[in-house]
Amino acid sequence: MRILSSDLKDHIGKTVHIEGWLHKKRLLGGLTFINVRDRRGLIQVVIQDKDEVEKLRGLQIGTVLTVDGKVVDEPRAPGGAELHDAKLEVLVPVTDEPPIEIDKPLSHKPDNLDTLFEYRGLGLRNLQEQKVFKIRASLLRNIREYLTEHDFVEIQTPKLLAGATEGGAEVFKLDYFGQEATLAQSPQLYKQMLVGAFERVFEIAPAFRAEPSATTRHMSEVMMLDIEMGFIRDHGEVLDLVGDMTISVLKKVYKEHAHDLKSLNAPELVVADKVPKIPVAEIHELYTKATGNDTTAEKDLTPDEERWICDYAKKKFGSELVYATDFPIEAMKFYHRVNPDDPKTVLWGDLLFRGLEIATVPMRENHHDQLVKQMKQAGMDVNHPGYKYFLQAMKYGLPPHGGCGYGVDRLVEKTIGLGNVKEATLFPRDINRLAP
């Protein structure tokens, strides 16, 4: 039976069987140390028998092997135990020298990101690199748990669509049996339809954007967390749900992965009980006053303002999370809800974390006739198959609702303190990269 690296200490004195990859060799003459990597970590094996050492001659790191040996309590060994009297069996010999050093993390310097992704499959064999994606998995698991506890149903909606969904981002077009189809840039209209059935839904799925953006925060395929909840009285309820969820998930992940986050040089987490909310107009004023760059005429926040307001919120409110709220009506999308108390603004907040927008959290217009009016004002065809079924759901009763589009990759990036959203993605897609 195979024993995993993490369980080695439970078998001291016994002969066990391990399986994994050759991760590191250190030949000291009559004594050889090798590290074998499995899914949990590393096991040190000590080999004295010359015939056993010879089995590894000419074989490179990455060779798949099994080792039978006696577990010895050894304070000098990493992890406090190691294997002696080893008998090796090579399952998959690797003779070609790997193009990168598995035991050494690849550079994450911007200039070297191309190499990082060129050898992604191999680079992920590095234990340090793996931590990024274990933390990502943990963030997602905690998000799912939080939303499930709050009575949300996880849904999956189609990514092949008959038309544009939001009318915002550029869409990828493709041939669908002779008909033109698009790749979903968001599950927006579907999740709203499903509020009519489940009240509370969420989806974690890719979204595709054909924008020619070449920045550290954009990709053409992104992982979106979409949440939508019905029967909310005011915008603050959605803002708080998404904000509270983020605080709770970050706290748990920072606790669970304290050691890994530290080794990745992640910043200390600074969050308050609630995410502070600041209206966009006020941010423009504060920023203009502080920097002298006049942004008061901007409809959205500039990237520099996003960074600035996050610093401000951290100092003033002790929170690395902050909401920019009350976006001006010039920036609104057709399905947004205009603020009834201030028709110049939209019930829409953006969640910012460590200088970057990670989620957009608006209320939706849920009255059929008003929505049709907004669509016609935007010059949209209400009979288009991409909108017809959405309007159908709206016509037969959707409660007041709101939700968010939340960038999972950006959350992972900022949680760890990486410099580029692509570093938080296993196989990123951008304007230059379609493989691996």
Partner RNA sequence: GGGCUCGUAGUGAAGAGGCCUAUCACGCCUCCCUGUCACGGAGGAGAUCGCCGGUUCGAAUCCGGUCGGGCCCGCCA
Is residue 357 near RNA by the rule CB under 7 A? yes
d(CA 422, CA 289): 34
Taking the complex as a whole, how short is the minimal distance between the CB of residue 89 and RNA, in angstroms? 19
- N-term to C-term CA, the chain: 35
**CA triple 71-72-76, angle to 5 deg:** 130
Quickly list DSSP for 48-98.
--HHHHHTTTTPPTT-EEEEEEEEEE-TTSGGGEEEEEEEEEEEE---SPP
Stretch near RNA under the rule CB under 7 A, chosen from 58-66, 192-200, 340-348, 370-378 = 58-66
Q: State which of residues 78, 158, 385, 436 lies at the interface with RNA (CB under 7 A).
A: 78
DSSP character at residue 30: S
5 contributes a contact to RNA by CB under 7 A: no
CA distance 330 to 309: 21
**Least separation, in Å, of the C-beta of 29 and RNA?**
2
Tokens of 24: 């590191």
Residue 215 near RNA by CB under 7 A = yes
Going across the sheet that includes 348-353, the strands are: 153-154, 200-208, 221-230, 401-407, 356-362, 348-353, 321-325, 277-279
Strand partners, 22: 36
Cα 400 from chain centre? 29
Q: Is 399 in the site for RNA (CB under 7 A)?
A: no
Per-residue contact flags (x/-) with RNA for residues 401 to 430, judged by CB under 7 A: ----x-x-----------xx---------x
97 binds RNA (CB under 7 A): yes
Q: How far is the CB of 297 from RNA (least distance, A)?
A: 12
Dist CA 148 CA 163 (whole Å): 31
* Cα–chain center distance at 325: 23
Instruction: Quote the CA–CA distance of 164 and 183 in Å, as a whole number.
Output: 8
Among 379, 383, 432, 435, binds RNA (CB under 7 A): 432
Instruction: Based on the shown chain and the rule CB under 7 A, indicate whether residue 1 belongs to the binding site for RNA.
Output: no
What is the nearest approach in angstroms of RNA to the Cβ of residue 425?
A: 12
Q: Is 166 in the site for RNA (CB under 7 A)?
A: yes
Amino acid identity, position 253: V
- 76 is a site residue for RNA (CB under 7 A): yes
Question: Any contact of residue 320 with RNA (CB under 7 A)?
Answer: no
The span of 4-12, 41-49, 254-262, 313-321 binding RNA (CB under 7 A) equals: 41-49
Cis peptide before 158 (omega within 30 of 0): no
185 binds RNA, rule: CB under 7 A: yes
Residues numbered 193 to 212 that lie near RNA (CB under 7 A) are 209, 211-212
Asked if residue 296 binds RNA (CB under 7 A), the reply is: no
Is residue 398 close enough to count as binding RNA by CB under 7 A? no
The maximal CA–CA distance of the chain, rounded, in angstroms, is: 84
Q: Under rule CB under 7 A, how many of the chain's residues touch RNA?
A: 66
Please say which residue, 80 or 318, places its beta carbon nearer to RNA: 80
Range 122-141, binding RNA (CB under 7 A) = none
Cβ neighbours of 393 (radius 10 Å): 18
Judged by beta carbon, residue 169 or residue 329, the one nearer RNA is 169
Helices then strands (H, E): number in the chain? 12, 18
Residue 300 · residue 327 · CB < 8 Å: yes
Among the candidate windows 23-31, 234-242, 262-270, 336-344, which touches RNA by CB under 7 A?
Answer: 23-31
* Cα–Cα distance for residue pair 82/13, rounded to 1 Å: 11
Pairing of strands 277-279, 321-325: parallel
Nearer to RNA, 6 or 302 (CB): 302
Taking CB under 7 A as the criterion, the residue among 52, 129, 203, 350 binding RNA is: 350
- Contact between 297 and RNA by CB under 7 A: the answer reads no
* Residue 7 near residue 38 (C-beta atoms within 8 A): no
Residue 311 contacts RNA per CB under 7 A: no
Q: b/e string for 108-133 if b means 16 or more Cβ within 10 A?
A: eeeeebeebbbbbebbbbbbebbbbe
Give 96 or 341: the residue with its C-beta nearer to RNA: 96
Please report how close the Cβ of residue 342 comes to RNA at its closest, in angstroms: 20
Shortest Å distance, C-beta 339 to RNA? 19
Q: Is 302 in the site for RNA (CB under 7 A)?
A: yes
The footprint of RNA (CB under 7 A) covers 24-31, 33, 44, 46, 48, 57-58, 60-61, 74, 76-78, 82, 84, 97-101, 104, 106-107, 109-115, 166, 168-170, 185-186, 209, 211-216, 218, 300-304, 350, 357, 360, 405, 407, 419-420, 430, 432-433
